[in-house]
Structure 1
């Protein structure tokens, strides 16, 4: 920002120097009027000296000569008249010629003319042109500074603050056509991150309390199991009935511990499933356009055939942003786990439902793995050495369920497909 201000300051300084130097630079040039005025003077002069007395000539057809004055050559002529005759008027240039009748001097003729280039006129024009150019250029630079660079300079600090976990500093709203919506989005992102941070801390606290509570509760059945196991080991039970009873008690206590473990797993899942879905309506074309804009170029760069078959545009019930998230998860998996030959989107209408089928060529998963692909934290054997956490398809299924829809997978002859079902 400071460097840009220096550029503006340097430009203003350069303009001031040029404005000062212009009169000096143009001084020698502007004192060279065009020689055409001499032709007009000679023509008027020739016409006047043929007359017996001075008569004001008609100068309407002349371009340079503005007026002609006469000073008699007489002893009665006053000094004031002579001084006035030779005095410059209206910033015009003049030329004086004698008027002879034979050998007798009658007087003097003064021709007032304007050269083609007037010092003041050309200087004013050049000064005005330079001023307008400088004003426009400086205005553009100031506009860029205040409307683009200054807001961007403020925005550039926000990602750094967010990366440090500082979610409290709010950007002032702006009506700028370039950054107004972007600032609004950054503030919304900041608020969401702050909300999730608070929520995460709260969940973390609840998890710790839950783990402490369950750990305490587990101690009781676990102590009983250890006690019964030790009694059996030391053969303290003298009859089979007592041994069977102890085994049953161990089994009961094991079930208690198993239930506690289920509670832990259930709580962990509920944290993952807390996804907000805003059900409304959106056009299928808007959804497809966004998918194409995001993935067509990506597929082209990886030399993967990306095919979007024809469809009928219609209103779909659901959350468009969440639907994009679902399709994005499936397409990312296709890019990650497919063989890189083809990805295809097909559209169907069945039983008052809109179906979107996404197919990718590649290796199929085994039947046993296929039955678990929508489970949380599950990763198939083809995911080795590939980043991921096994939650993508699990979240997709949960989102579709919240939109009153469905998602199911199918093993194809040369790949896999996922079908999204939207109810009308």
Structure 2
């Protein structure tokens, strides 16, 4: 039941008791009060008093005495209406709404359980098994669009790891065979060297021509051993650079966005400024993923060896090629070291105490060349820059 009219009556009574006249009260502020009448306590006309207390309409009526300084001054008659609210109906509608909301929430939870939680629960141990190399099964694909891409990626990762492991085993077998073969081949010239060296040491040759001949044989067999060592180094280098490049086409923006997305947060945490100058989104030839590996290696070097102030990426065209220039502030290498930075296993003096193996830039150059591109380095007064050259 709506009792708002009582509140309005009490408010009007308070105003009148404070001295406000009944006719001065703003009735539009009290929507439940339809009519307001005043009867003074000094009114002596009985007919007037009788009419005052008599119900004469379809509205409900309430008469309240008005006191001022504990003295009765008159009566106020309120003709009002009250809004009836169907409490039972409201309660029923509320319960039905809550039931519908609960049913919808339950449906959402069941849907998430079936299409999101269950698929991920089935593969929650898979990353650990893959890391240990124990997983030999097949990653079952899911129809759920939430889990499909994730499980598809896990399946591709598993296949890639399997292929890498098989290739690694094959390379290890080939390497052992090569080392055994070269070890055997090295023994022959090594024995010859030892034989001639002993003869010279013990002065077995009395003729000068025989001594010269022995020294010449030692030199020749030394060159033969050097050749075998070069073969070992060549084979080791070939294993390291067994990189598959899938040349196709991609837009420059894809590569730049990929780099910005990967390094925006790390650079923000280091309070380093990343500047990407405006560029034209041209179509390039090459392998997008391998190109990002090159950019990634250069960015990592900038984080390692830069001074932590700024990295700047700019793109421009030159001689029918797209050039991407990545510059970082910091101390540069010496002129002597600068000419060797793209050599394998080379580490400059500024890399002392920092992790690395001296292969990063060497691999970058090999990747760029396999994409028919090139990479160059530039020294500036306040930093280093690397230029990546992509063909159209």
- TM exceeds 0.5? yes
CA–CA distance in structure 2, aligned partners of residues 373 and 122 of structure 1? 80
- Go from structure 1 to structure 2 and tell me whether the alpha carbon gap of 1:127 and 1:418 turns closer, same or farther (over 3 Å shift): closer
After TM superposition, the structure 1 = structure 2 runs for residues 164-179 of structure 1, keeping only pairs within 5 Å, are: 164-179=132-147
* Shift, 1:170, TM fit: 2.1
Match in the other structure for 1:378: 346
SS at the partner of 2:118? helix
* Shift, 1:286, TM fit: 1.6
* Shift, 1:418, TM fit: 0.7
Match in the other structure for 1:156: 124
- TM-score, normalization by structure 1: 0.70
CA–CA distance in structure 2, aligned partners of residues 321 and 118 of structure 1? 68
Deviations 1:294-330 (A, max 9, x none): 1122111111121111111111111111111100100
Q: Does 1:218 align with 2:218?
A: no
Match in the other structure for 1:240: 208
- TM-score, normalization by structure 2: 0.75
Match in the other structure for 1:283: 251
* Shift, 1:206, TM fit: 0.8
CA–CA distance in structure 2, aligned partners of residues 344 and 138 of structure 1? 52
Q: Does 1:392 align with 2:360?
A: yes
Contact 1:167–1:193 (Cα < 8 Å) also in 2:
no
Q: Alignment partner for residue 409 of structure 1, among 371, 377, 381?
A: 377
Structure 1: where are the runs of 5+ without partners? 1-32, 35-115
Match in the other structure for 1:13: none
Match in the other structure for 1:358: 326
Match in the other structure for 1:327: 295
CA–CA distance in structure 1, aligned partners of residues 99 and 279 of structure 2? 60
Contact 2:253–2:281 (Cα < 8 Å) also in 1:
yes
Deviations 1:381-419 (A, max 9, x none): 111111111111111101100110000111111111110
CA–CA distance in structure 2, aligned partners of residues 134 and 172 of structure 1? 33
Match in the other structure for 1:30: none
Contact 2:126–2:135 (Cα < 8 Å) also in 1:
no
* Shift, 1:240, TM fit: 1.7
CA–CA distance in structure 1, aligned partners of residues 94 and 283 of structure 2? 64
CA–CA distance in structure 1, aligned partners of residues 147 and 217 of structure 2? 69
SS at the partner of 1:179? helix
SS at the partner of 1:281? strand
- Go from structure 1 to structure 2 and tell me whether the alpha carbon gap of 1:299 and 1:237 turns closer, same or farther (over 3 Å shift): same
CA–CA distance in structure 1, aligned partners of residues 368 and 105 of structure 2? 56
Q: What is the RMSD computed on CA atoms of the aligned residues?
A: 2.2
CA–CA distance in structure 2, aligned partners of residues 356 and 318 of structure 1? 14
CA–CA distance in structure 1, aligned partners of residues 257 and 241 of structure 2? 28
Contact 2:325–2:386 (Cα < 8 Å) also in 1:
yes
- Go from structure 1 to structure 2 and tell me whether the alpha carbon gap of 1:138 and 1:249 turns closer, same or farther (over 3 Å shift): same
Structure 1 runs (4+) greater than 2 angstroms displaced = 116-135
CA–CA distance in structure 2, aligned partners of residues 311 and 119 of structure 1? 68
After TM superposition, the structure 1 = structure 2 runs for residues 72-87 of structure 1, keeping only pairs within 5 Å, are: none
SS at the partner of 2:244? coil
Contact 1:167–1:194 (Cα < 8 Å) also in 2:
no
Deviates more, 1:159-168 or 1:189-198: 159-168
Structure 2: where are the runs of 5+ without partners? 3-83
- Go from structure 1 to structure 2 and tell me whether the alpha carbon gap of 1:347 and 1:119 turns closer, same or farther (over 3 Å shift): closer
After TM superposition, the structure 1 = structure 2 runs for residues 10-29 of structure 1, keeping only pairs within 5 Å, are: none
CA–CA distance in structure 2, aligned partners of residues 123 and 422 of structure 1? 72
* Shift, 1:142, TM fit: 1.0
* Shift, 1:121, TM fit: 8.1
Q: Does 1:307 align with 2:275?
A: yes
SS at the partner of 1:178? helix
SS at the partner of 1:201? helix
* Shift, 1:282, TM fit: 1.0
Deviations 1:101-147 (A, max 9, x none): xxxxxxxxxxxxxxx99999899767755543332222122112112
CA–CA distance in structure 2, aligned partners of residues 411 and 337 of structure 1? 14
Count how many residue pairs are aligned between Structure 1 and Structure 2: 311
Q: Does 1:249 align with 2:217?
A: yes
- Go from structure 1 to structure 2 and tell me whether the alpha carbon gap of 1:122 and 1:391 turns closer, same or farther (over 3 Å shift): same
CA–CA distance in structure 1, aligned partners of residues 374 and 110 of structure 2? 55
